[in-house]
Structure 1
Amino acid sequence: MKIVLVTGASSGFGEAICQKLVADGFKVIGTARRFDKLKQLQQTLGDAFLPIQLDVTDKSAIDHLNQLIPDNFKPIDVLINNAGLALGLEPAYAADFSDWEMMVNTNVMGLIYLTRQVLPEMVTRNSGYIINIGSIAGTYAYKGGNVYGATKAFVRQFSLNLRTDLAGKAVRVTNLEPGLCGGTEFSNVRFHGDNDKASSVYQDINYITPQDIANTISWLLSMPAHFNVNTMEMMPVAQTPAGLSVAKHV
């Protein structure tokens, strides 16, 4: 039975991924800052789910993560770097720099530090899969996306470079790049708890759901070991990559 480690497992994509993969027969380690949410999820998923409190911005906590994982949840076959966030939607000249720091520390530093801890064992065993949750924001710029988009562009490039470094090794890497997704806390977090503002983002839109993401990851994990998806971009039908804009009299 393969073992999957999912970060950001307390809600949204992470929660749906844990639910789907346990149903698929995997053993899943779910990590997040909110341990109470993980315990609730464990009550639903049972012994196949191991909850561990973890803040990916805390390097010391990542250093000690392996000590918290019992032998029956080792080794980690799949790492799903899902933990991430967007904060604010102000233009770069008006943004809160502390929001930028938090996004970089979570979306970039947390992801690469945990990957660096897990990857060597996969290389030693010559088996494993790393799935990074990127975003179309790493490819397409939008107003207010500044540092969030930059962090996701980093995740995309880091994923491609991992594959390059893993040439000759049977370790797979995929960067999953969703577009507009609802049913998560993403916009609530971005707008610092303004639920009305967050809900307006998805009003009258048939958006991608966390279950769609979980089903996609389930499909990726079902593919044979010789098959690697480097990047996968997805949007709801309601969303398209808009054309370039031009401002007059500038």
Structure 2
Amino acid sequence: MQGAVLITGATSGFGAASARCLARQGWPLILCGRRLERLQALAEELSELTSVLPLQLDVRDAIAVQRAIDELPEPFSGIQVLVNNAGLALAPGPAQAVELSDLHTMIDTNITGLVNVTHAVLPKLIAWGSGATIINIGSTAAGNPYPGSHVYGASKAFVQQFSYNLRCDLQGTGVRVTDLAPGIAETEFSLVRNAGDAGAADKVYQGTVPLTADDVAEQVGYIAALPAHMNINRLEVVPVRQAWGPYAIHRDQLTESA
């Protein structure tokens, strides 16, 4: 018997691709996001494969999140898998040059929203017991700093540590927790990060071969379908063309003596 999967940020990118992957596996789906039209279109697309509940929801609103989880109808009230995908990056410039409101938006979505949804869903996952799973979408930015990552990278470091600490708290309940950390991936994410500037977003992927949303979604499907006695603590997935860079060292410009 499969319980329902709740996916946040299901309107695009990893969330929408994960919905399609999990629908092919037969999971009942609760698709959450702010853009109702997209949710309804995706629900209609997947309705031939499984039962789907589109749920307009802003993860930053703790009261609305709790109410939505409390009022889930059958057959969606038994949640077996939570995919915490809702998140974004904004303001790719230096921290000292960006708007504070953009930093707050990332914190409110990537951290507060993650906590809101997880706290609301945890009783249902614990009630499910063995085989219940939390999949938190993290990032390689959690441990690999780079210019312009500032609050985004810090928020993904939170995702990693929150995932690990949940594992400690949930020991003995049968609930599993995975931090799924993709590297560079071509989705709507970069367009949002660059405030809708398609040219700037395209430059991120120019001349390379990034991951796709489907690549990441396949990992979500794999984790969700693992035998109940197995837990992947962290799964980092990057394209072959992505590796680590050298340290950035600022040097004074030297002049040759006469």
1:156 aligns with 160
Comparing 128-137 and 235-244, the one that deviates more: 235-244
- Tell me by how many angstroms 1:126 deviates: 2.3
Distance (Å, rounded) in 1 between the aligned partners of 2:69 and 2:236: 32
Contact 1:187 1:198 in 2 (8 A): yes
1:7 aligns with 8
Contact 2:164 2:233 in 1 (8 A): yes
Structure 1, unmatched stretches of 5+, are: none
- Tell me by how many angstroms 1:68 deviates: 4.5
1:56-205 equivalent positions in 2, closer than 5 A: 56-127=59-130, 128-182=132-186, 184-205=187-208
The SS at the match of 1:77 is strand
- Tell me by how many angstroms 1:92 deviates: 1.4
Tell me which of 46, 55, 60 is aligned to 2:58: 55
1:216 aligns with 219
1:16 aligns with 17
Q: Which amino acid aligns with 1:133?
A: I
The SS at the match of 1:142 is coil
TM-score (norm 2): 0.93
Q: Which amino acid aligns with 1:63?
A: Q
Q: Which amino acid aligns with 1:13?
A: F
- Tell me by how many angstroms 1:236 deviates: 0.5
Q: In terms of Rg, which structure is larger?
A: 2
Contact 1:56 1:106 in 2 (8 A): yes
Tell me which of 223, 238, 246 is aligned to 2:249: 246
- Tell me by how many angstroms 1:107 deviates: 0.2
Tell me which of 239, 243, 255 is aligned to 1:236: 239
Distance (Å, rounded) in 2 between the aligned partners of 1:202 and 1:87: 17
The SS at the match of 1:4 is strand
Contact 1:52 1:68 in 2 (8 A): no
TM-score (norm 1): 0.96
Distance (Å, rounded) in 1 between the aligned partners of 2:96 and 2:108: 20
Q: Give a deviation string over 1:30-78, Cα, whole Å, max 9, x none.
A: 0000000011111211152211100111112102112542111121100
Q: Give a deviation string over 1:101-155, Cα, whole Å, max 9, x none.
A: 0000000000011101111232234231100000001110000100000000001
Report the aligned-residue RMSD: 1.3
Distance (Å, rounded) in 2 between the aligned partners of 1:84 and 1:134: 9
Aligned length: 249
- Tell me by how many angstroms 1:95 deviates: 1.6
Distance (Å, rounded) in 2 between the aligned partners of 1:27 and 1:41: 13
Q: Which amino acid aligns with 2:112?
A: M
Distance (Å, rounded) in 2 between the aligned partners of 1:80 and 1:95: 30
- Tell me by how many angstroms 1:190 deviates: 0.6
The SS at the match of 2:124 is helix
Q: Which amino acid aligns with 1:102?
A: T
